[in-house]
Amino acid sequence: MRRQQRTGFTLIELLVVIAIIAILAAILFPVFAQAREKARAISCLSNTKQAGLAFAMYVQDYDETTPKMGYGVDWWSIIYPYTKNLQLYLCPDRNEGNDTSCPNNDGSYCLTLNSYPGYGYNWGPIGWRGGGLLGAQIQDPARPGHSMIPGVTLASIQFPAATFAFGDTYDTPRQTLGIGFAGCTFTGTSNAQLRHSSGQFNYAFVDGHAKSVKVQSGYMGDDGNGAFGGRLVMVRDSTLAQTAYCADPNYPLTNSPWSPDTMPIPTDGSVTCGQAQQYILTHFKPCTPSNVPGDDCLFTN
């Protein structure tokens, strides 16, 4: 009698094939996810670079003075005439909320983004105290009862190649990249959960170049007596931190009389703009499960 030839797979063979496919998927899916994240980070860096170039053109057209901030006016709408592209201000890794800004300051002309900008302007490292591309917040002489934040001259920026103009932020609704504001809506509990490859923020510098910079986060105060949202984000490089947030690293971080803050940084001028990050590193302990949230501490991983 002739033996009948087998025409199918055995159960063992099918299980082996399925196991191989599962192993390959487990290996490749994280790779694909990393590739997508890298693509988003590159897109974000390109946007940041373009915003930085628009900032440079604005400064040249306005007597070498940086854009001021005022009632109902955000930085991105001020440089919009130099970009003509609202999508430029949207980071692929941020898609919540929306933002409207009226650059004429009278409601006659407004621009709207369908999500919050992914990038913030360099107001300085701590609250409204100034030190960056803006001075301390003051009362607007043209609008009694309202505030404005004056720009600074290009000549006053001592290290343009090492000073931020714009960069990644979690701040909302008025976007800044300052240490005490940039972590506002960040809800992670480690540096690994920060955007762009575990905490690589993109920044445009005053001289026009842009690059990715390693940052770290943590908690600063609680119940409003600290950073916005109780979170902070700052660069890790201590040398860069001395100039990154500061037009003049020796600018004293005294409180703004018009808009004082309660961030745990001395207000008597004993800490300068260039010393803000080092003060935090010296006075803030590492975050542990027993001391967060609420305490002044920094994530170490």
pLDDT digits (tens, 9 = 90+) for 204-230: 999 999 999 999 999 997 545 688 888
Residue 265: closest CA among 300, 226, 295, 228 = 226
Structure tokens at 300: 């170490």
pLDDT digits (tens, 9 = 90+) for 89-119: 988 888 788 888 888 766 678 999 988 888 9
Per-residue pLDDT, averaged over 267-295, amounts to 88
CB atoms within 10 A of CB 115: 14
Per-residue 3-state assignment (H helix, E strand, C coil) for 60-106: HHCCCECCCEECCECHHHHCHHHCCCHHHHCCCCCCCCCEEECCCCC
Residue 149 β-bridge partners: 69
CB 213, CB 203: distance < 8 Å: yes
Predicted pLDDT at 5: 59
* Domains of the chain, residue spans: 11-298
What radius of gyration do the chain's Cα atoms show? Answer: 24
> Residue 264: is its pLDDT beyond 70?
yes
CA–CA dist 249, 163 (Å, integer): 10
Higher local confidence (pLDDT), 31 or 206: 206
Predicted pLDDT at 280: 96
Predicted pLDDT at 167: 94
Structure tokens at 30: 């994280």
pLDDT digits (tens, 9 = 90+) for 52-64: 999 999 999 999 9
> Residue 201: is its pLDDT beyond 70?
yes
Q: Mean pLDDT over all residues of the chain? A: 87
